[in-house]
Amino acid sequence: MTIEKYLSWRDENGEAFTPVPMGGLSLLNDRILNKGTAFSEREREELGLRGLLPPHIATLDEQIERFYQGICQCSSNIEKYVHLRALQDRNETLFYALIDRYVEEFTPVIYTPTVGLACQQYSDRFQKPRGLYITSKNIRQMKEMVHHFPSKDIKIIVVTDNQGILGIGDQGVGGMGIPIGKLSLYTLGAGIHPGSCLPITLDVGTDNQELLDNPAYLGKHNKRITGAEYDQFIEEFVYRIKEFFPNAILQWEDFSKANAFRNLERYQTTLPSFNDDIQGTGSVALSGIIGAMKIKAEKLKDQSFLVYGAGAGGVGIAKQIMMALIKEGLSEEEAIARIFTLDSRGLILKHRPGLDEYKKLFATPKPLTDSWKVENSEHITMAEVIANHRITVLIGTSGQPNSFTPEMVTDMQRYTKQPVIFPLSNPTSKCEATPEQLYQWSDGQAIVATGSPFDPVDFNGRKIRVGQGNNVFIFPGVGLSALLGKMERIDEEVFTIAAYALADYLTSEDLESGSVYPKIEKLQDVSLFVATKVMAHYDKDGRSEDEIREKIHKWMWKPKYLPYKAV
């Protein structure tokens, strides 16, 4: 039975209720069904809870405020994270009701930037297992593992092999914090029932020697498997997912650059899947650039782009910019010519020996740079590109703090009064420049967005809201539309549509405040808007956007308590 049908039972009077097949301590230990102190007198009697709870019957609102006051006593975000995760493990409904009420305050706690530290401290702070931990030793027992898993109605799976966790690299089994966090945002943003979400970590070992030397480390104490052994493991995983969860959407998360592109390309047509680091990052960045064009009153095709950091996110951004330029009338060749990419070795040139396959599409032909004034023609720096070529949009995904300089901004302003500059690296300590610096260097003219949350900046009496280019504005809506639209393939076009949808959601108030992204408190409405636009684009039944939106909205789970009846 699907979760939707399970939650929509009606009694003889037509009132909704939830059938409960357990009672006593088993019910109190069930994170999906537990209400804590909110069980009614009838429920306590009928479900064997008499004497197992304090006598006061609390409302959901009372529970939210009590827990909120308690968490406000925590001295750090990592302490708040631990308390929130503990709540999530014992009462999912209360957890999501709390996060929904204080979404702006707690989203940075349950995900970036706090989740990075949580991954680093995973083994030391381990409380309760969640999801599936798959290794090369147990992968052939997946049928048995799935059989024992509490929910069979899985709709969204987020999987990581833990190698490219945020900006901090290989975290071994501790990377499980990422799928857990991402799925929390699916429920919060897209209303996907928590019982339909499955986090998975692929523990293929770790090359993090500090973890291997730590006796408290909970993962496999061996180096990572690589090459053909790794590829065979991934292939076996994908086909077992297809067998056991045939209706689920699979999201690849925080794989190394090479594996991220290879896995996506190899299995994109095997089952509906996408990589948020590549496609989601590209989509949210493109949306911010489109928003910046609204502020500048200029066209996207008249810009020139530099992406510093040619990993999964950087190349994903370049691809989405290319898709948008083609959509706006340029040929693929013309679009690529407007995009420059740099990595740790400088401008990526086509003739570079040993160039990674995923970097080749946006490599620059050397003849274009022959007339440039540079110190070393084989290692052209970011500053030299900006000094020699008309760059109007600068994107940072390098993880290199303080790499944007005042001179770069000055050079950009030779070509455009309002340079678009997005230092998107996470966490905050990895940011290429702070918003305050960029506003100072540009005399308040730069259009800025960041990957991490920043407080508003006061500049010359003007309060500027710094938009956060957070993938959470994209992936819940995309996953929801793919799920309800029964997509067989989730390709780049889907994310381009999502990017334009997110930009369409911006209000005049957002743009006037200098922000190219909505406020995080609008997350669920944003996700609904994005999902509606994507589904409408692919709809074959001639339904209006209003009809599609209503269907999606009715489907979305809301964190509230229904009456329980024993079955």
Q: Which residue stretches of 102-138 are H helix?
A: 103-110, 114-120
Per-residue model confidence (pLDDT) at position 429: 84
Beta-carbon count within 10 A of 11 CB: 10
Q: By C-alpha distance, which of 229, 268, 232 is closest to 251?
A: 268
Domains and CATH numbers, the chain: 59-271 (3.40.50.10380), 279-472 (3.40.50.720)
Q: What is the model's pTM?
A: 0.94
Instruction: Compute mean pLDDT per 10 residues along the chain, 567 residues long, and list them.
Output: 63 84 95 97 96 97 97 96 96 98 95 92 94 95 86 92 91 97 98 96 97 96 96 97 94 94 94 96 98 97 97 96 97 97 96 94 95 96 98 96 97 97 90 97 98 93 96 98 95 97 97 97 97 96 95 95 91
10 Å CB burial of residue 314 (0-12, 13-18, 19+) is buried
Per-residue model confidence (pLDDT) at position 15: 80
Verify whether residue 68 is a known catalytic residue: no
What is the number of residues in the chain? 567
The answer to whether the CB of 53 falls within 8 A of the CB of 44 is: yes
Verify whether residue 327 is a known catalytic residue: no
Per-residue model confidence (pLDDT) at position 372: 97
Q: Which residue has the tokens 């409405």?
A: 525
Catalytic residue among 35, 80, 155, 182: 182
Per-residue model confidence (pLDDT) at position 371: 95
The answer to whether the CB of 517 falls within 8 A of the CB of 454 is: no
**How far is the CA of 24 from the CAs of 28, 31, 240, in angstroms?**
7, 14, 36
Catalytic residue among 81, 96, 111, 308: 111
The answer to whether the CB of 404 falls within 8 A of the CB of 438 is: yes
